[in-house]
Structure 1
């Protein structure tokens, strides 16, 4: 097996597969995609059963899919669609499944045409000229440690390990978190017959309804005068690529202006849940999502059950756990059989990168230091796709992936031409 490669892509999710598809399209074939799971879109495959896409008619660049999918793709449909996408662009032979990256080390060379990166995996040691990290923002679960946690006799489970509410029938369950996963899991528990469902919401959170005719928050975003509207309204492949590249070339000032305009449009649709101790954020929903990483809650039925009293909101924090109960900061204690943690994720790139402080923003969620277009500002042969501060989530990241693949292809071709010129060799 070839261990000297032009490009190594870490992660076979939306970003990794679109980068790979773009490389194939622009003539780069000496690359691999390393995926620790046994399929593409592993995070979706392993997610809770009722998870669906927040984006209606979700698709990636230049392939809508041959199958008939739901308006909001289910988790199984998302895996099926990405599998179709990889097959369509002939990416499958390049994917190394069930192989986990353990470390990434920079190789310091005098000549930039040499191999720049060494990747230690669970099965091999590989080297490449260009490295693309596409492990995403939800790679590592955030699991808080509560005082007295070791004494609690019930189950404590992160949302990443939750499947459905069947095991919790007739149980009293506390869900911790205010994001979409926490809200949907609380609803799932209620619908599967949990005796009591409480959801702990400490901070502020934007909440939007799922509109009639399946209009989600992203649909309204798409209808607004944001750059996504300009991107998705292109009619041909060439103009769509140009629109993608214009969007990626937005300056930070232009991006913030787009965020402000989008927020002014969509804030009018937010739900007023102050009667249930759920308050909107101080800044707009897109501002909070892009700059702080907190995605608005798009309701799929949880709010109705909160209003009916079937799901109870707790607005205090956890002070301590005991054998069967949780004591909150307001002094109230409640007995629970299980606690589900919808406490989010972190990128976790620092676990594989040597000298992570060199490549990551220590003061900004350990996000990569990039030029705003996925390329590292520290090493020009290192790319991070799926971490940029953008509007539109995973679908937009797919377009970033495509443009990054094109950029890398031209970068490799340019170096090949320079190398041939130095050696006085014709291609």
Structure 2
């Protein structure tokens, strides 16, 4: 990493023999280039570090874990117990609670980066990454604050760590431009404090939508939840154990269909019939649905109790908006002061990666299903696209580091370009 720090900003001869513009620098990176400094990028950098392989992380924001740092609400906790969310080679501090807060998780990531000497290059937006088959090198072009500041990093291995949540999903709803109040995505929501006494429509019934509704209630707002699709809601804990941990243990002994039946039976006993609250369950069980579509069940942290008491209203999908109202598909019309879109995120890989084999153009996710989506061709890898959270990212990070170490030991040393 020290060598990379020294060469940053200096122009070098292009090993591909191409002419460079005055505003463009080319930098040879002897190890892998990692795009994204979120938990997945940090995990793979640490695993490479353990194998004495230096890497370079490019991050478009000015901090690590930018999604957690910049685009999450204040009350956020990890939804899974900490033992299922730790990154490779470093557990959470023993004094952390079972479900760490957002700020505790960020402190953990900062300590993780420091321990493994991970120093990303911030404010580096990757605008394109392309493989040159003749020279067998990746060309990763970045842009800084100023449009003319372009740098091309040349490397043998490229690791895509931008993840499933790189860009906000903002649906097109008829009449959005006519609505008089604010419409924001949950990425801009911090707290219900500014919504006291207001009627707020939350669109989307995933974990974020449910928790934002609860936060609004706790700040004396009047939230309604727009539910378009069916959803599985499970207790966060069952029989004194986390629902996730219990599920993983049961899957060691029983088929997924039986584990799903057990989860739904216990959920019915603990939560009641969610369909009576306007939350219809999908036909497939929660684990089957997660495996086939990646749709995560909601782990209830208190929202259902507020729905049962009427503090949170459940509405059908939105048909259209007008100046101060929302009309739903069942014909119901309600007044609202603000709308919060809990409509999730998507991958942005296909907007900058010039490669059509590994990632699907439809959703920007690896074409091969888990656990085989981590490796592509020509030194291309993906980490954080498993739809299995930090546990899946950690598994991929270890595999990638092992594979690059194996390739490095079998290959001839790369020839760095001469500095001008």
TM-score using structure 1 length: 0.82
- Give the conservation status (yes or no) of the 8 Å contact 1:226–1:262: no
**2:176 matches 1:161:** no
8 A Cα contact 1:206 1:296, kept in partner: yes
Residue 59 (str. 1) matches residue 86 (str. 2) = yes
Name the CA distance, whole Å, in 2 between partners of 1:7 and 1:60: 19
Aligned-residue RMSD, C-alpha: 2.3
Describe the SS at the equivalent of 1:96.
coil
Any idea what SS the aligned residue of 2:391 has? helix
Contact 2:124–2:142 (CA under 8 A) maintained in structure 1: no
Give the aligned partner of residue 361 of structure 1. Answer: 360
- Output one character per residue of 1:86-129: Cα deviation in whole Å (capped at 9) or x when no partner: 2222223xx1122221211222225x4xx233333335221111
Aligned ranges 1:88-103 → 2 under 5 Å:
88-92=115-119, 95-103=120-128
Q: Are the aligned partners of 1:326 and 1:333 in contact in 2 as well (CA < 8 Å)?
A: yes
Q: Which residue of 1 aligns with 2:303?
A: 302
Higher relative helix content: 1
Q: In structure 2, what is the Cα distance between the partners aligned to 1:292 and 1:97? A: 33
Alignment partners' CA distance in 2, 1:118 and 1:166:
43
Kindly state the Cα deviation for residue 312 of structure 1 after the two structures are TM-superposed: 0.7
SS at match of 1:327: strand
Offset at residue 336 of structure 1 (A): 0.5
- Ranges in structure 1 where 5+ consecutive residues have no aligned partner: 228-256, 421-427
Contact 1:65 1:81 in 2 (8 A): yes
1:217-256 aligned at under 5 Å gives the runs 217-226=243-252
Superposition map of 1:15-414 within 5 A: 15-29=40-54, 31-46=55-70, 47-57=72-82, 58-66=85-93, 68-92=95-119, 95-109=120-134, 112=136, 115-122=137-144, 123=149, 124-194=151-221, 196-211=222-237, 215-226=241-252, 259-260=256-257, 262-270=259-267, 271=271, 272-314=273-315, 316-355=316-355, 357-363=356-362, 365-370=363-368, 372-377=371-376, 379-388=377-386, 392-414=388-410
In 1: Cα distance, 2:101 partner to 2:252 partner: 26
Note the residue ranges of structure 2 that are not aligned, 5 or more in a row. 1-6, 9-26, 416-420
Give the structure-2-normalised TM-score.
Answer: 0.83
- Render the CA deviation track for 1:139-179: whole Å, top value 9, x for unaligned: 11110121111111101011111101011111100001110
Conserved 8 A contact 2:170-2:341: yes
Secondary structure of the structure 2 residue equivalent to 1:120 = strand
Aligned equivalents of 2:357 and 2:275: distance in 1? 43
